Every structure is written in C-alpha cells, then in structure tokens.
Copies of this chain bind each other. A is one copy, B any other.
C-alpha cells in the first residue's frame, strides 16, 4: 500500500502540473478564431480563479480512467482541463456574497474579494463557457461524435439536474426560501450526488468515453465514480468539523454554523467514518474487472477517504 500510495501521489502531482500548463495556455491574452478581444481584467481574474489551485482531483480521475482504456494521455488532459474549468467556475460563483459568502479559497482571497462581485460573476460565466469551447476542440479527440458526447454529459452533470441544481438544494437546506427543516439521509445523499458527486462521476465516465470502453466497462467506471464522489463529500464534511482554517485554506466550521445538510450531521462522525470504509470497498469492487491497471484509482479512493487537508 505504501508503494501504491507513493505511485499515486506522484501521478496526482504529475497530472496537476500538466493541467496547470494547459490552463495557463487556455487563459492566454490572445483571442482565438471567432473571438474579438480578451479584456485584461477578466483574463487576470479568470487566472486567479483557475490557476495554482487544488489537487486537480477531477482531471486526475479522468486521465487515470482514460488510461485504463488506452486513450491518449494528451486527449485526456485536454478533457480534464475542460472539466477543471467547470469546477473552478462553480467555486467562484459558490463563494459569492449572495451564495456561500466566502472570503478565502485555497488560502487566497476569493475572486470577488481579490477583484469585485461583478468581475467574479463574469469569471464564472466565462470559465463555464470556455469549458465547453475546450471540450469541443479536436485536441480532445479526433472523432467529433466522442467530443459531442462529452459536451452533452458534461452539461448534464453540471446543469440544473446536476451540480447547479445541487447548489440550489444546498441553499434551500439552509432555510433560505422556507422554514428550515432537517433533511433525511436520502435527501442529503441526493443533494451531494448533485452538488459534488455529478462532476466527479463525470470525470470517470469521461475517461471511459474517451477510451471507447464497452458498456460493461463504462458501468464499472460509473460505479467507481459514484463511490469516490460520495467518499469525497463525506471526507470534506468531516474535515469541516475537525479541521482548522490553516490546514483547509478556507474557513472551518462554516457548515455547522450555516446549518448545512451533511451526512456527518445525519450519521455522526463515527457513522460517517464507517460509511467511508464501505465506499472504499465499493470503489475497489467496481475496479475489480480492471486488475492491476486500476491500482492508482484504488489508491485514489483511499486517499480521498482518508485525507486530512
């Protein structure tokens, strides 16, 4: 397991570095064909939102799943960059004063703090739009049928029936629009499957689509994605309860203070840890057909479930 873990950490770092290079290129000042002009302030704010950030877990899952099916690494990285742009847009908008009102993200001021609210709204809009631009480019895959399938699935995972809808449910769970009530475990699970699960699951599905995996293999990748997505959210909620602002790079204890719906609140910390173990086993089970080729994804599930920062 130690060898697996160092191999995993090396690959995670390597993919994050490659994604950083791609995002820098994508957020260049020079307009492309079909564009007119890229305003300097908007480009700077988009870079603030997208560069030097996070572990790039979603692109990692996409690239590593694609690798199982023999897809080109360059293709998978480009699709991973598109996916990461969607993730970064969602953070910029979720942090806005009208939404979660956060001042810190990854240890730095959030976009509306570093710039201003109008700029942060436009940053999110432009990152989301750029994500679909990138996913439609031939560098993602020579076959347009595969690119258009990725565009469609990314939109479904991110839209009102996925991530954006999940943020709506999260705000509702705070009691913003009606008297607050405690969500059932099943309601919390749905909320989280939408808010964070959908994009993580898409990462694994996208790898299988890029690798032109058969239906059975796609279903396995999907099952793995669903399990690691749930594990990610539970670990995140545990961190919010047990972490501190210094290690998190963002305010701690905010979920409890806002009365956010989490499985830690529903199951208690011990129940949540037990659920994490089940989800790691579920992830392992889903990866069984892929043998040793999926070792890095196995290590990823453990890493996500056990992470402390």
Contacts and interface: CB of A to CB of B under 8 A. Distances in A.
Contacts of A177: 41, 116
A43 B160 contact: yes
Contact of A176 (B118, B165, B167): B118
Interface string A260-298: 000000000000000000000000000000000000000
Contacts of A179: none
B121 A161 contact: no
- Which residue among A98, A122, A154, A164 has the maximum number of chain B CB atoms within 10 Å of its CB? A164
Interface string A120-158: 011011101110110111000000110111011111111
Contact of A41 (B46, B168, B190, B193): B168
A231 B160 CA distance: 35
A133 B118 contact: no
Contacts of A93: 121-122, 125
A194 interface: yes
A36 B199 CA distance: 12
A121 B121 contact: yes
Contact of A144 (B42, B118, B145): B145
A33 interface: yes
Given A36-B190, A42-B160, A42-B168, A132 B132 contact: yes
The secondary structure that dominates the A interface is: helix
Nearest to A143: B144
- Report the contact-size class of chain A (Cβ under 8 Å from the partner): 35 or more
Contact of A164 (B129, B145, B176): B129
A191 to B, nearest CB: 9
A53 interface: no
Interface string A66-100: 00000000000000000000000100010010110
Given A42-B160, A136-B155, 14 more contacts: A31-B161, A32-B156, A34-B152, A35-B159, A37-B194, A41-B172, A93-B121, A93-B122, A116-B177, A119-B171, A126-B159, A128-B129, A135-B151, A144-B149
